[in-house]
Structure formats: C-alpha cells, structure tokens
Amino acid sequence: MNPSLLRIATRQSALALWQAEHVAALLQSRYPDLQVALVPMTTRGDEILDQPLATIGGKGLFLKELEVAMLEDRADLAVHSLKDVPATLEPGFSLPAILPRADAADAFVSNDYPDLAALPAGARVGTSSLRRQAQLRALRPDLQLRDLRGNVGTRLGKLDGGHYDAILLACAGLERLGMASRIRSRLAAPDWLPAPGQAAIAIEARSERPAVLQLLAALDDSDTRLTITAERAMNHALGGSCTVPVGAWCILGEHGLHLRGLVGDAASGRLLLAEAQAATDQAEALGQRVAAALLEQGAGDLLEK
C-alpha cells in the first residue's frame, strides 16, 4: 500500500531546503493526494566549519544524520546534492531517483575581476575543494588558495567582506538560489572538470521500503542516471573519497557515453587526465576503464598522498 505522507529529511541550508522543496513540489504534482513534509536537521558537516571536509571525514558527514532519521522512522527519504553522496552507500539504502542534471560548471565569483585569467599574481581565491584547488594550481600557480567553508550565503559574505579576491562555487547552487547574477564566468568541461555527480539532485531512501521506492522512481531521469553511473563508478574505482581531487564529466551522445576523468594534486597542480567511450549499457564498465587508465598514469601515488 502506498503511503499517504512522505517525510523528507534535509539539511537546513538555504540550498538544501530549496532542493527538498523542489522534490516535494515534484511529488505533489505527480501525486496530488500525497502529503509531503520537510524534516530539517543539522549534520556534522554543517557544524564543523573551521576545518576542511577532507580532514574531518569527507562529504559523508552531510548524510549520516539524515540516514539515522530514516532508520529511526523519523523520515521516509532524504534529498542530497549528488556530489556529496559517497561512491558507496551505507547498507540498506539506495538512490531510487536522480533528477535531471543542471549546469555542472563551477562558477568564478568576484566583485573586481571578470574571470580567472584577469586575477593579478598573488590574488586570494577561496575554495576548500581539493579538486578545484588542483585545477587552479595547474592553471595559476601564482595564486594564494585559501580554505572557504560554509553555506552559499556565508561564502559570498566572506567574499563581499574583502577576505578573498575571488571564490569558486557551483553554478547550479547559485542558479537555484536566484543568485545567477553573481557568476562572473563559468569554469566548464572539457577544460575544467566538475565533481562526479555535480549539479544533480539525488533522492535516498531505505531499500526495504518498496512502496516508497516505487513512488520516488517516477522522478528518476534515465539519461542523467546513465552519465552519473559512469562518473560514480570511476570515483568508486579510485577509492571514492573526497580527500583526493577527483573530477569527472560524462555526456550522452548519439554514439553512446563519453567520460573524461581527472585526478590531481592540490599542492603541486599536477593533473592526470583520461577519457573513453562506451555504449549506454556499459556505463559502470566505462567508469572503471577510465579509472584504470588514470591509475596506469600514476594516480595511485596521488591517491596515497
């Protein structure tokens, strides 16, 4: 029997609430008789803002409390930015729906400079993402890279307060919050790679709740799932950790899937790149193949660091 009420566990940041409300609206549009309620909560990843994520346990810190809420039957599903979801889920959970992907590019945000090339030598750029740091170092080794944590509003406030000359954020997050005007330029594939799954919204639920899974599966975008499967398979084969700078970009074309992957070193700016193509029924194998090519180039040494 289908449930009459679905409770959505979500983080309390403005972006997380937007994403949860977006999913709620999609569900109510598809199932007019269904009630949907939000269950906002704070995660460890939200509470610890004075240290880089890589040093305190990775992006999985954003999921734990939401998964506990589902296990304790305080929520039926959770909504995440897919790039924050570890390559391997905790046992008993699945992703029944991945929504259509938005703009996966990174945003260059500055009050004084139009793009990365315009920054003067020694300019201060804020980002705590090791993936972004590695690509910045490769392009502009003269810049000062400084950690930047917090929600979108907090990060923009630090830029506006003069702590940085520029910061890097996700285009999708700014667009969803109605802040697209803050984007001065886009850092986009194939020259600049996003995080695996960036700009896609994932819905997580317990594997043993078939009625809930069936309702949610109606929101799944099959094309996005294909490309995301390849990116996440690559990430998983590389260790699936956010303590390593990993970028991935998969596109679906008339000849199948094309995946480009990156492993970098945030300290030196060394970048390893690999790419391959495959049929649409080989998404996972494609990710594994690109990961193997990166490992052949020496990605293992960077992963061990």
Residues contacting 204, CB < 8 A, separation 6+ = 63, 66, 67, 70, 77, 78, 79, 80, 85, 89, 93, 94, 95
- One of 84, 103, 165, 265 is an active-site residue; which one? 84
Q: Is 84 a catalytic residue?
A: yes
Partners of 256 in the beta sheet?
253
Residue 264 and residue 247 in contact, taking contact as beta carbons nearer than 8 Å: yes
**Whether the Cβ atoms of residue 185 and residue 168 lie closer than 8 Å to each other:** no
Cα–Cα distances in angstroms (integers) from residue 272 to residues 131, 261, 265, in the given order: 12, 8, 9
Instruction: For 125, list phi and psi in degrees, rounded to 5.
Output: -120, 130
**Cα 140 from Cα 135, distance rounded (Å):** 8
Torsion of CA 281, 193, 60, 65, to 10 degrees: -90
Report residue 78 as tokens.
Answer: 């959770």
Beta strand 166-170 pairing with 256-264: unpaired
Would you please indicate which residues are annotated as catalytic (active-site) residues?
84
